[in-house]
Every structure is written in structure tokens, then in C-alpha cells.
Structure 1
Amino acid sequence: MAEADPVIEPQTAEEVQVEQQEPATPKRRCMRLALMLSIPLLLIAGAGIYWLGLQGKVSTDNAYIQQDKVSVSAEVGGKIIEVLVAEGDEVEAGQLLFRIDPEPYQLQIAQADAAIASAQANVIALQNDSDLTGVDISAAREDIAFAQAKFERIKALWDRGFSTKADYDAAEHAMTQAREQLKQAQARQTEARARLARGSAVPGENPQIAAAKAQKASAELALRRTEVRAPIAGVVAQADRLQPGQQVVSNLPVLTLVSETTTYVEANFKETDLADMQPGQRARIEFDAYPDLELTGHVHSIGAGTGSEFSVLPAQNATGNWVKVTQRVPVRIAVDEQSPRRLIAGLSTEVTVYTNDDAKD
């Protein structure tokens, strides 16, 4: 007969309570104490490492890519007849961008040519005028000589009693009148010479002809300006108004050229971050658009005023409810290396400046 299975007697409630009240072993107590102490120590160590990592550098994410921009406008007004570029095109300095209708300015040149011809004809006429040649002066002098001789004969007769008072007065009046005509002829000759004079401002040329030539030069300049060319090399932007048939107003921008050769970062640092910052210090540039891109640069210059100082409406702090606000100062960061990705004006960046570095020369 097989042996019977052993019977396990259940523990009583008193025995279970006694087991639960048994004291923990020393090893378990040490582990619990070590765990309680390690958590604060780890937090303190992490805070210390983080604090040490912040020393010697300042960062801001209030930073943006900047590139030189030139607003292009026509120096003369008129209708656009030809457009040779479009939004996003890359152009070289001096490249033709668009043309304005040249016909009005060609007509101005024709009018200027006519004015030159008219001025030249006037000069020729003045040179041949009797007032300038002295013919009237010679005639006036002969009249004076004749009137003088007649007066002397009448006077001699008057002295001997053979002439009337009326004849004497008429002869005297004729002599006086002849002298006045000489003065008038001389004045007209002086005026004619003045009209032909060549002033010191335009030596060697008659003022009328010089004025007409200046008018033509102005018309030719306006005609040349109907061809609008790129002042710098760059990328065409904001060219939505550049359409054939569009009426252009002089000096009103119609497009913008963005130069990609002058890329820099404008970082707006808190005024409390500037204590150890100086031009030449090394900088790291990170881009929101390109998370895997990191470029090196250096502090080029620190702004001469805060952003609010140069705003259109500067803040007026002389009020009773004034609240102190930490100001931002624009710092220009030069990019020291060529970017493998295209840098677009206005891109958001994060800039870190290492203030413990010695400034570059």
C-alpha cells in the first residue's frame, strides 16, 4: 500500500501576523537608504552639470538670417513694354531687367534738336542785326552832324535878325533829337552784344545754344533710363508688379534684389547677456529649417541701440505704470563657412556665442 501524502496544516492567523511583524534584514534597509539618498544626489549633480554647461556661453533663438536687399525702381515713368526676369531668377550686376516705352523720350530728343537749331538761327540773326553792326549809330552821327550844321546857320541868321524864332527853335530841337537817336542806337548795340555774350558758366558757347543742348542731354539720359538694369547681383523677389503694360511711377519700387553674397545673422540678445560679449568671439549657428545643419561664425558687431530705441514708435517710459522689461540688443553674427544648403533671408536660427573665447583680431 502506497504511503499516504503528507498533510500540510494551514497556518493560524497568529502565525501569519508573527511572520509579517518580523524585522527587515539589514541588507534591505541599506538598499532602501541608498535609493533615498541617490535620487537627490542625482538631481543635484544634474543641476550642477547643467549650470556648468551654461558657463562661458550665451544663446538666443531670437535670431534670423539677413541678406542685403536693394529695392529697384525706374528713374523715369512710363509703361512697361518688356520684362526679362521673373520671381526667383538670379541676375548679375548690370543685367537688363525690364524696359519702359521709350517713344515719349525720343520725342523729347527731337524737340531738343529743334530747340538747338532755333537757338543757332537766333545767334546768326543777332550777329547780322543792324543794332550790332553799328549802322544805326553811323546814321545817327550823320544826322547829328547835319542838324548841328543847320542849327549853326540858323543861329547866325538869328543873330543878324534874318531868321524867325520858330526856325531857331526847330533847328535846336532837331539837333537835340539827333543826339538822342545816337544814344538809343548805342543802347541797342549794347543789348545786342549782351544777347550774344558767352558767360563764364558756359565758356565758348552762347547761353541759348547751351540751354538747348542741356535739354537734349536730359532727354537722352531719360531715354537711357527706360532700360532698367540690376544694380547688384542677386535673386529677384517681390516682382508681382513687374508686368508688361503696367504703368510705372518714377522712384516707386517694382521689385527687390536679394544679395546672397552678404549673408549674416541678426541675433537679438538680452541686455543681461552682453556683459562678457565682444566682437570676434566664436559663435555656433543652428537652423530651424535645416535641423542637421550647423555653421560656425563670429560676433561681427554689437548694435548701437536696443530694438525699441530704433522702432517707429519708441516706448515712452515716463509714466506712472512703468514696468521694467529686459531689452534686446541686435548683434550681427558673421557666417564663417560656406553653407551646403541655401540660406534664405528671414530663416529662424538659434545662435550660441562662446563668451569665454578670446576675441579674434
Structure 2
Amino acid sequence: MKKNKIDKIIISLTKWIGITLLLGIIIWSAIFFLKGYRYEQTNDAQVDAYLSPINAKVGGYINKIYYKDNQQVKKGDTLVVIELDEYGLKKDAASAELMSSYTKLPILTANEETQIKSIEVIKAQLSGAKAKLSQQQKEFDRYKNLLADESTTQQKFDNVSASLSITQSDYDQTKASLQVAESKLNDFKSQRNAIKAEIKIKEALLQRQELDIKYTVILAPFDGQIGKKTIQEGQLIQPGQTLAFLVNKREEKWVIANFKETQISNFKIGQAVSIEIDAFPKEKFNGIIESLSPTTGSRYSLLPPDNATGNFVKIIQRIPVRIKLKDTSKKLEKLSAGMNANVYVLKN
């Protein structure tokens, strides 16, 4: 009797389990086909976000690293420090060159003052030479008239004429000396402009060296979470080298869904989208279609397919669709770039 009762209980349980499983399959099938009827869907989708690279502006050996894998950082936090010795020496050299250029100005000023005084002396000499020339010209004219009246000898006239030529030569020489002195003064003024330009260049070079020293300390540009650490202390890095990636948790995130080309014929910009994230299966995320790629995903590959070569096998292509997430920033903070998603686009 007891065995018959147990058999009946087992048969009853088996029957109810079978009925439950059948109902579950029916309900799941109904939901699946209902979704397939109402939605265009794909599980080839991922969350995406901007990854900001942290690059080195100057090269050198890494002195200290102040972050760890996946660490949260604040804007202005020190991430990496590069050894300073070489850049300190370059700054000292640039500073010394700038001081050398500055010392040229007092010397040039003294030369200008000396040249100005020389010009004043030559001008005084020129005035005397001009007066002497005027007097000698008058003497020449007087003897010329006397010679015409036969009141003097030819010898005296020749002596006066020679004196006039000598006086004229002295005057011309003094005048030329004045022009040379003034030209030299202008040269000094040009040198001053050249030295001022040289000083500006060396000031800029010194500022550049100071910037390089500043760049040896690499700071976080904004609040976010650092990625994987791929560098080590003592490592030699080059200018422009990527040291890490920083993700801003509060910045815009979106989903890239790769739909089959047969699914997108009725897609429109602004169309509502429902999203399920594998990491959070109990939550729904909302979005809208922001844009559709102008080409299939295969066209972005390193070696895009060429159907004109070899035998042709038709393969349904996929079109990347960018979906803008519309939920609150607080809700989207927990999403990480690369998370898998299921995307459902309501059919019109």
C-alpha cells in the first residue's frame, strides 16, 4: 500500500513538473516570438564610451608612478613623475644664455654713448674745416683777381690754389668721417634690435624648458577611473607615448548595436530603443537611435572583403547603429565600456 502511494505521488509530481515545464516553454516561446514580431533585436551590441589617453609630452625615465590598476582619481592628481635632472640642466643652460644676451646691452649702450661723443667731436672739426675752406676760397678768389690784373705772381697764385685743394680735401675727409661715424651709430642701434630679438628668443627657450619641467609631472585631466597600468618605474618613455587610459564615469555613454542589413530598412533617427545589459539583467535601459553607420562593419576591418575575387558566398552584413542612452547619469554611472547588451528596436 505504501509503495502504491509513493508511486502515485511520484507520478503526480512528474506530471506537474512536466506541465510546469511545458507552460514555461510556451510562455518563453510566446515572449520570444512576441518580441520578434514587435521588435528588431540583436545581441551583437556593446556599451561604448570615450577613453581618454594619458600621453607623455616629454620623454625620459619614469621616476615614480602614483596610481594602480583601476584606481579612481581626481582632477589634478599626480599620476606619473619623470626624472628631472636632464631638464634641470637644460633650464640652467637656457638661463645662462639669456643672461649672456642681457649683458650685451650695457656694453652696447656704452659703445653708443662713445660713438655719439665721437660724432660731436667730428661735427666740431667739420665746422672748423668748413670755415677754413670758406676763408681759403675767398683767398683764392682774391689772388685770382690779382693775377688777372697782373698784381701778383703766378707762383703765389699756385700756392693759394694748392692750399685751397688741401683745405677742400680736409673738409671732404672730415665730412666722410662724420658719415662713417653716424653709420656706425646706426649699426649699434641695429645691433640693439638684434640683441632684443635674441633676448626674446632665449626667453621663449627658457619658458619652453620651464614647460618641459612642468610636463615631467603628469596630472589627471579630470575625475575618472584609470585603466590597466602598463608602465613601470625606471622605464624609458618617449614624447607622445600613451601611458594609460582614463574613463570619465559621468561623461556620455552610448551603445553600438550591429544589426543585420535586413533589419534596418525602417530604422529612423530618434526611434525608441529598449536595452538590456548582461551585467544587470533585471534592469531596463532606454535610448534612441542617434545615427546609422554609412558602411557595413566589415569595411572598417584591416582587410575588407573583396567579392570580386574567387568564388562568391553571400553573407548577410551588419550595420553599426549608434544608440544614445536616455537614462539618468546616476543610473548610467555603473555601465562600463565594453559591456554586452541586448537591443530591441520597436517596429513601426
User: What TM-score do you get using the length of structure 2 for normalisation?
Assistant: 0.72
Residue 118 of structure 1 pairs with residue 127 of structure 2: no
Partner of 1:28: none
* Deviation (angstroms), 1:85: 0.5
Match of 1:245 in 2: 234
Among 66, 76, 80, the residue aligned to 2:58:
76
Partner of 1:207: 197
Q: 2:259 aligns with which of 262, 266, 269?
A: 269
Q: Classify the secondary structure of the residue corresponding to 1:210.
A: helix
Q: Which amino acid aligns with 2:338?
A: G
Residue equivalent to 2:179: 183
Aligned in 2, Cα 1:344/1:94: closer, same or farther, shift over 3 Å? Answer: same
Q: Residue 330 of structure 1: which of 317, 320, 327 is its match?
A: 320
Structure 1, gaps ≥5 residues long: 1-45, 199-204, 357-361
Shift of 1:248: 1.6
User: Which of 138, 141, 144 is 2:120 aligned to?
Assistant: 138
SS in 1 for 2:159: coil
The separation in 1 between residues aligned to 2:178 and 2:314, in whole angstroms, is: 90
SS at match of 2:273: strand
Aligned-residue CA RMSD (Å): 3.6
Whether 2:218 is the aligned partner of 1:228: answer yes
Report sequence identity in percent: 26
Q: State the secondary structure of the residue aligned to 2:108.
A: helix
2:44 to 24, 41, 62: 62
Closer/same/farther in 2, CA of residues 149 and 318 from structure 1, 3 Å limit: farther
Q: 5 Å matches for 1:1-361?
A: 53-130=35-112, 134-151=116-133, 156=139, 160-161=156-157, 163=159, 169-196=165-192, 206-241=196-231, 243-261=232-250, 262-288=252-278, 290=279, 292-306=281-295, 307-311=297-301, 325-335=315-325, 336=327, 343-356=335-348
CA deviation string 1:60-118 (max 9, x = no partner): 12212212201111111121111100222121222110111122333333334333433
Q: Distance in 2 between matches of 1:82 and 1:320?
A: 56
Paired letter, 2:186: T
Q: Larger RCO: Structure 1 or Structure 2 (Cα < 8 Å, ≥ 6 residues apart)?
A: 2
CA deviation profile, 1:148-168 (whole Å, cap 9, x unmatched): 345456663685425287665
Which one is further off, 265-274 or 138-147?
A: 138-147
- Matched AA of 2:82: I
| TM superposition shift of 1:251 | 0.9
Deviation at 1:253, TM superposition (A): 0.7
SS at match of 1:107: helix
The more displaced of 312-321 and 296-305 is 312-321
Preserved contact between residue 236 and residue 256 of structure 1 (Cα < 8 Å): yes
The aligned amino acid for 2:322 is R
Asked if structure 2 preserves the Cα contact closer than 8 Å seen for 1:286 and 1:350, the reply is: yes
Using the TM superposition, give the Cα deviation of residue 280 of structure 1 relative to its aligned residue in structure 2, in angstroms: 4.0
Q: Distance in 1 between matches of 2:134 and 2:103?
A: 47
1: CA distance, partners of 2:90 / 2:284: 56
Q: Deviations over 1:164-216 (max 9, x none)?
A: 87665444333222211111222222233344459xxxxxx943443333222
Deviations 1:311-342 (A, max 9, x none): 55555667797766543222223443666995
CA positional deviation for 1:273: 1.6
Q: Would you tell me which structure has more helix in proportion to its own residues?
A: 2
Distance of 1:88 and 1:73 partners within structure 2: 17
Structure whose alpha-carbon radius of gyration is higher: 1
Would you say the 8 A contact 2:47–2:255 is kept in 1?
yes
Query: Structure 2 regions of 5+ residues with no counterpart?
Result: 1-27, 145-155
CA deviation after TM superposition for structure 1 residue 252, in Å:
1.2
Q: CA deviation at 1:52?
A: 5.4
